[in-house]
Chains A and B, each alone.
Chain A
Amino acid sequence: MKSIFIAFDQAYYDQIIALLSTNHVRGFTEWESVKGRGSKTGEPHFGSHAWPSQNSAIITIVDDVKIKPILADLRDLDATSKQMGIRAFVWNIEDGM
C-alpha cells in the first residue's frame, strides 16, 4: 500500500477525480483549498490579490501496482498546461484499519 499526495490547481479538480476513477481508485481525502508555490517554476497559488489562483490537494491510498499508471496519467494531464501545475508525491503506508 502506498499513498499519493496530489497538489493541483483547483481548475483540475474534475479531471483528477475522473482520472482516479478510471484507475479504479475509490477512496480519497481532499482539501478544497490549499496554498503553495512550486520549488522551481510555475505561478504561486496564494489566493491573494497578486496570485489569486489556489490549489486543492488530494491524498489517496492505493495498491502499489496502481501507482505507475496514475502518475503517468497525472503527468499527461500536467503537460496540457504548464501554467496551472500538478505535483504528486508517493509515500509508503505502514499500516491501516
Chain B
Amino acid sequence: MSLYESSVRKPVMTALIFIGVVILGLFSLNKLPIDLLPKIETNTIMVMTTYDGASASDIETNVTRPLESSLNTVANLKSIKSTSKENRSIITLEFNYGLDIDVVTNDIRDKLDLVSSFLPTGVGKPIIFKFSTDMIPVIMLTATADKSLPALYQILDDNVANPLARIKGVGSVSITGAPKREIQVFVDPVKLEAYHLTVESLAQYIRMENINTPAGSMDVGSETYSLRVEGEFKSAAEINKIVVGSSDGKTIYLSDVANVNDYLEERNQKSFTNGIQASTIIVQKQSGSNTVEIADAVQKQLPIIQKNLPPDVKLSVIMDTADNIKQTISGLTETVIYAFLFVVLVVLFFLGRWRATVIIILTIPISLIAAFIFLGATGGSLNIISLSSLSLAIGMVVDDAIVVLENITTHIEKGSRPKSAAVNGTNEVAVSIIASTLTIIAVFFPMTLITGAAGILFGQLGWMVTIIITVSLICALTLTPMLASQLLQLNPYRSKMFNKIYSPIEQFLDGMDSKYATIVNWSVRHRKSIVAFTTIFFILSIIPAKFIGTEFYPAQDNGRIALTLELPIGTRSDITIEIAKKMTEQWKKKYPEMSMINYSVGQASSSNVWGSFQANGSNLASFSIGLKPLSERKRSMFEICDSLRIDILQIPEIRKSNVIAGGGMSMMGGQSTLDVEIYGFDFIETDKIASQLSKGLKNVNGLVNTRVSREEYTPEYQVEFDREKLASNGLNINTASNYLRNRINGLTASLFREDGQEYNIKVAYAPEYRQSIEAIENILIYNSRGQAIRLSELGKVVERFTPPTIERKNRQRLITVSSTVSGTTLDKAVEGINVELKKINIPSNVYVTIAGSYKDQQESFGDLGTLLLIIVMLVFIVMASQFESLTYPFIIMFSIPFAISGVVLALGVSGSTLNMMSFVGLIMLIGIVVKNGIVLVDYINLNRERGMGVIRAVVNGGESRLRPVIMTTLTTILGMLPLALSNSQGSEMWKPMAITVIGGLTVSTMLTLIIVPTLYTMFAASGIKRQHRKNKKLAALNQANKLDN
C-alpha cells in the first residue's frame, strides 16, 4: 500500500500523527528564545596584557611582538590584529566561523603559557576575552546617589555588578562614573626635605602602624584568653597622628609633612545621562549568548537588587537592546500573519470552495509548526532569519497541496467516489509534485553548505525552508488526500449569496483562461517575432543594472547612535565635559527624536572592562544616544547621524569625531564602512599617506566620517637619566625611576579597612607640587649611602612626541583610514577611493589595500556566485531526470533570464541595492520560477502523449494550466508582499529579499507563460521536421532497394 493509500484508509492515524507534530511544534515554539540573528559562535578572541608604565612602542616591542609571534601559530587563525598603547597591549585574533571556540581558547592559553616566561618582569598575566570590542552593551543602567556618593563604587560593585555578572551569558559588567574612595596622603616635598624624610619612608611608617597582630593566648585562672594588638586605623584621621620621626627633640607627626584626605580617586571617568551626573552600569554579553534572555534576566533581578541598596541610590534602565529585538520580531511575526491571510484569500478566490480552501490552508500551520521542532531540537531561536524563512515559505507550501487537491477534484467531478478519487488523484500527480519540490530543495539545501558568516545566516534559512517544504510535500501526499476523501463532495451545495459573489469571479477566471489561450495561439504561430520581442525586452531590461549599486548588508535603523568627540590631546576633563554638556543641550532641542543621551569623559580605571576597550582620555567624550522607536519619529537614524556630523563640524575645538549609526553593532545592521589599510613600518611615511588620503576622501561623494586610526601624537615628558652619573652616585635606572613614579603616580602604602571593605592608602606629592618640570627636576633621590641627589643632577627632562597607539595587523604595522558610506553605494565609494589612491605616490615599502565591508562583500558575493551556478546545475539535473530529456529543462531554463530582468527592474524602481539579502533572493528565484515552466511543459507533454498535435497540445495545456500557475505564483508573491511593504523596526533587512523575489517572479511568470509554449513549439517543430526528413530518406531508400530488386 502506498503512502497516500494508507493515509486515506486510516484517517484517524493520519490525523493524529499530524496533531502530534503540531503539539510537539507548539511545545518547541513555547521554549524558543528570541534573538535578532541566529546564534553565532564568536570568532574573535582578545588577549589583553598590561604593563604599567610602558609607552606604546615599549609595549609593541616587549609585549605585543612576542605574543603575536607565538599566537600566530594557533590553527585556523584568519587574522591577527593588535593595538599597543600606553600600559596595555590588546591582541585580537579572528578565526574562521564554525570552530569550537573553547578548543581555540585552550590552544591560545597553551601558547600564552609558553611565551609568558619570556615577557619582561612586571608584565601582567595575559587575560583572554571571548568577545570582541565592537560588542555593544546589552543593557545600560544608571545609578544616582545622594549621601552614598563617596561609597557609590563599592555599593554598586557589590550589590549590582556582582549579582548581574553571575547571570548566564553576561560577559562583563562595568561601572563608569562612580568614583572609588581612596585615602590620599599628599606630601609637601619642601617639608619632607627639611625633615630628611622620603615618600618611601612615610609609606613604610604607615604600613607599620596599620597592623593587627595576634599575640598568642594566655591562661588566666581557668580560662584561656587570646591576646591581640589592634593597630589598624579606625578612621582616616588617625593617620594624621602617626609619628614619622623627630627633629630637634620634637616629634614629627605625619600631619606636619602631609595632608590626609579621605576622598575619591583623583583621575576618574565622569558619566552623565541626559545632562545629569550619574554613574553608568554597562552590561555586555559574551558573544553567542542570547541578548533577550540576558536583558530579561537583568530586568528581573533589578527589583531585588534595588531592595538591597541604600535608599538614596536609585537604579534605572536607560537602554535595553532587547526592546529593539522584540520589536523587530513582533514586526516580522505580523508579516507572517498577513502573508497567511493573503494566501488564504488567493486560494479561496481561485477555488471558490470553503472546504477545499481549508484543506489546503491546513498545510501552512502544519509545515511551519514542524519547523519549530527543528529549531527547538537544534537550539535555534526565533530571529530575523528563521521568521523570514517562514514568511518566504508560506506561499510555497500550499503549491503541492493545490496540485493534489485540484486533481482529486477533477476525479470527483468525473464521478469517482471521494476515497478512490483521493488515492488515484494523488497517485497521478505524486511524481510531478515530488520533482517540483526537489527543485526547491535543490535551491535551499545548498545554502546550508555555505561557510563563513554568511553561512550562519543563510544556513538556517536553507534548513528552515528545506524542512518546511519537505513537510509540506508529506502533508500534500498524506493529509490532503485524507481530508479530501473525508470532506469533498460531488457538486457541493452553493447558496444564492455565494453564487452572487462568486459567479463574477468565476466568469473573470474563465475569461482569463480563454484570453490566454488566444494569446498563446497567436504566439505559437508567430514564433520568430515572439523570440525577437523577448530578446529585445531582456536586453533593454538589463540596462538599468548599470545604475544599481551594491552593498554588503542593508543598513538597519535600530535607533542607536554611538559618537565620540575628540578634543586636542591634553585637554582637561572639565573643559571636555563643558563642551559635551553644551552639545547635549543643543541636541536635545534640535532632535526631539533622541530619548536618551549618555556620555562619559575621562580616563577609565583598569577594572572597567567596557571603558578600557573604548578610546578614553580626558580629552574624549564618548556618547551613547538612544532614539525613540521608529514609529514615533520621522527622521531615520541615518539622517540624524548625517545632521550630527554637520553639527560637530561647526565646533572648532573638536579635532576628530566619529558618529556610528547603529551603535557599532557587529556583523550587520550598521552602515557600511570602508577601510583603507596602509601597511608600513615607518610611522612618518604611512602618516603622510594617511593624511593625504583622508584629505582626498573628503572630496569623494558619499563618504563621511573619514578618520585616521592612528591617534595624534601625545606630547610627553621623558626623563633621560645619565647612566654614568647614576652609577657614580650608586644608583641605577630602576631605583631612580621608582622614586619618580612614587612621587608623581603615588605609592600605595597600605589598605584602610572599614566595614569589610578595603580602600587604598596612597602616598604621593600634593598636586600643586607635580605641575611643572622644575618640580620633577627637584625630586630628591636617595642612594644606599643615604645621600640625597636632585633628579636634575642625574639627567634631564625633555619633551617628546610619541604615537599613543601602534596598530598592527598580521604582524605588520598599519594605519587605517576608515570612512562610513552614507548616501551612496559601496561599489561607487570604492571607485572614488581608488581614484584618490592613484593620485598619491606610494613608496615601494608601503602596501595599501581596501578592506572593511567591501572585502567582506567581495568574499561573500564570490561565495554566493558559486552557489548560484551550483544551484542552476542542480535544478537542471532534477528537471532533466524528471522529463528524461535535455530539451525540456533547457526550454524551462529560459524563465531564469527573465527573472533577472524582473530583479533588475524591481531593484531599479524601488531604489534598492544589490546586497547580500537581494542576492539570496535572486538565488531563491531560480527554484521558484522554474516551477511554472515544469507545470506547463509537463501538461503539454501529457497532451501530446494523449495524441494531440503540437500546437493544440500547447494551447490546450496552457489554457488548462494557467490557473494553477497563476495561483501558485500569486500565493508566493502575496506571501512576500507583507515583507516587502513592512515598515517595522528591522524591515530594512528583509525588504530587499522580498522585493527581489516579487519583481523577478512577476516578470518571469508573465514571460514564461508566453516564451515557454513558443519555444516548446519551436523545438517540437524542428524535431518533427527532422523526423519527416528521416522518414523521407527511409522511404527513398526503400524505394531504391525495391528498384534494385
Contact = CB atoms under 8 A, between A and B. Distances in A.
Interface of A: 9-15, 48-53, 80-84
Given A11-B424, A12-B420, A14-B417, 7 more contacts: A10-B424, A11-B411, A11-B420, A13-B420, A82-B415, A84-B415, A84-B416
Contact of A11 (B416, B941, B942, B946): B416
A12 B415 CA distance: 10
Contacts of B946: 50-51
A15 B416 CA distance: 10
User: Which interface residue of A13, A51, A53, A80 has the most chain B CB atoms within 10 A?
Assistant: A53
A50 B420 CA distance: 19
B100 interface: no
A11 B945 contact: no
Given A49-B942, A50-B942, A50-B945, A9 B428 contact: no
Interface string B393-428: 000000000000000000100111101110010011
A49 B415 contact: no
6 contacts: A11-B416, A11-B417, A11-B424, A14-B419, A80-B415, A81-B415
A24 B416 CA distance: 25
Contacts of B419: 14
Nearest to B946: A50
A53 B417 contact: no
A69 B659 CA distance: 94
Nearest to B411: A11
Contacts of B941: 49
B417 A9 contact: no
A49 B420 contact: no
Contact of A83 (B415, B420, B428, B945): B415
Interface of B: 411, 414-417, 419-421, 424, 427-428, 941-942, 945-946
Contact of A52 (B414, B415, B427): B427
Contacts of A52: 424, 427-428
A44 B946 CA distance: 9
Contacts of A48: 945
Main secondary structure of the interface of A (DSSP, over half): loop
A12 B419 CA distance: 10
Contact of A14 (B415, B420, B428, B945): B420
Contacts of A80: 415
A80 B490 CA distance: 12
A92 B941 CA distance: 44
A43 to B, nearest CB: 9
User: Which interface residue of A10, A12, A81 has the most chain B CB atoms within 10 A?
Assistant: A81
Contacts of A84: 414-416
A58 to B, nearest CB: 15
A92 to B, nearest CB: 32
Contact of B421 (A11, A13, A50): A11
Contacts of B428: 52-53
User: Which interface residue of B411, B419, B421, B941 has the most chain A CB atoms within 10 A?
Assistant: B411
Contact of A81 (B414, B427, B942, B945): B414
A14 B415 CA distance: 14
Contacts of A9: 416
B420 A81 contact: no
Contacts of A12: 420
A53 B945 contact: no
A74 to B, nearest CB: 14
Contacts of B411: 11
B417 A83 contact: no
B39 to A, nearest CB: 46
A51 B330 CA distance: 50
A50 B939 CA distance: 9
Nearest to A15: B417
Nearest to B947: A50
A90 B411 CA distance: 29
A37 B942 CA distance: 17
Q: Which 8 A/B pairs are nearest by Cβ-Cβ distance?
A: A81-B415, A50-B945, A11-B420, A52-B428, A11-B416, A83-B414, A50-B946, A50-B942
User: Which interface residue of B414, B415, B416, B424 has the most chain A CB atoms within 10 A?
Assistant: B415
Contacts of A49: 941-942, 945
A7 B457 CA distance: 58
Nearest to B944: A50
A77 to B, nearest CB: 10
A52 B423 CA distance: 12
Contacts of B415: 80-84
A80 B942 CA distance: 26
Contacts of B427: 52
Nearest to B429: A52
A89 to B, nearest CB: 22
Contacts of B945: 48-51
A68 B998 CA distance: 63
A6 to B, nearest CB: 16
A82 B414 CA distance: 8
Contacts of B416: 9, 11, 81, 84
Contacts of A13: 420
A82 to B, nearest CB: 8
Nearest to A77: B415
B876 to A, nearest CB: 20
A53 to B, nearest CB: 6
Contacts of A53: 424, 428
